[in-house]
Structure 1
């Protein structure tokens, strides 16, 4: 039986997960892609090299974000959030957010295959030096959640 998540459960799922799916749309093209993210209780923060996702969000900043925790087909939780893409251009803020992303994701990296293209660097001064790294936030204006548990 499908039921709604409470606000507390929605917040917990957004804070607990590492990977969500970002949906964007522009000029007749819809694009959905998994992203690493950090949620601070207000905004979702992410990073990306320049490419299709960034181009689409620059054209149309209205986006949708989905995160889930699936144990099996009858035991899962899902949250959908709608919001607005906004690039972060101030270097100090970029470094702060990239550090939060690194702190959140680094414990889950299982080998040394991560490269600067992933946005993770050894020194703060190396941010964005090997690729054009875009740091952004999704300003959330609506969230819903559903679950099934049997």
Structure 2
């Protein structure tokens, strides 16, 4: 990292950012052409779980090249200043790399969908008909590398805990 004073290396803080971020932008590459798509996700056990349709460009690309990169941010906002050159951004961010695979077992898919629902919904019934599960792809990204960065906030011990 070019600015080591902005690096977040603490695993607990990285986990907090992963859990509090709302959107994950996942990047893939095929034939030397990159492709990035924003997705809903859940983080659990050093893996990301992403919900998708069972067909489409991202699944085709991951089948050819399972190596992915992802980015997300938490508490990102513009930080205005009196002069144009003083404007900046405040954020906590993560960039990570991993290997993507598609979950096929209905029980594994159900567990992943429950993680997603727990993240985004106030109430869930944890019930998924077979007709829905059969049309649903769950992408699991086993994280191989993770780096965090912050700007505009004080160095966090855990972000969002009142010490920004």
User: Would you call these one fold, judging by a TM-score over 0.5?
Assistant: yes
> Mapping of 1:68-87 within 5 angstroms?
68-69=73-74, 70-72=76-78, 73-87=88-102
**Is 1:11 the counterpart of 2:15 in the alignment?**
yes
Change (3 A) 1:44 1:64: same
Match of 1:51 in 2: 56
In structure 1, list runs of 5 or more residues that go unmatched: 109-119
Task: Give the TM-score normalised by the residue count of structure 2.
Answer: 0.75
Instruction: Return the match for 1:65 from 58, 63, 70.
Output: 70
- CA shift digits 1:78-104 (9 cap, x unpaired): 100100001111111111111221221
- Structure 1 distance, partners of 2:26, 2:125, is 24
Aligned residues: 137
Structure of greater Rg: 2
Unaligned runs of 5+ in 2: 79-87, 154-164
**Aligned mates of 2:27, 2:117 — CA distance in 1:** 23
Which residue of structure 2 aligns with residue 20 of structure 1?
24
Cα distance in 1, alignment partners of residues 145 and 127 from structure 2:
36
Deviation at 1:76, TM superposition (A): 1.0
1:34 partner SS: strand
Shift of 1:24: 0.4
Judged with a 3 Å threshold, the aligned counterparts in structure 2 of structure 1 residues 41 and 18 are, in CA distance, closer, same or farther, namely farther
**8 Å CA contact 1:47, 1:133 repeated in 2:** yes
With normalisation by structure 1, the TM-score equals 0.81
Equivalent in 147, 152, 155 of residue 149 of structure 1: 152
Deviation at 1:17, TM superposition (A): 1.3
2:107 paired residue number: 92
Q: CA deviation at 1:121?
A: 9.3
The SS at the match of 1:85 is strand
SS in 2 for 1:124: coil
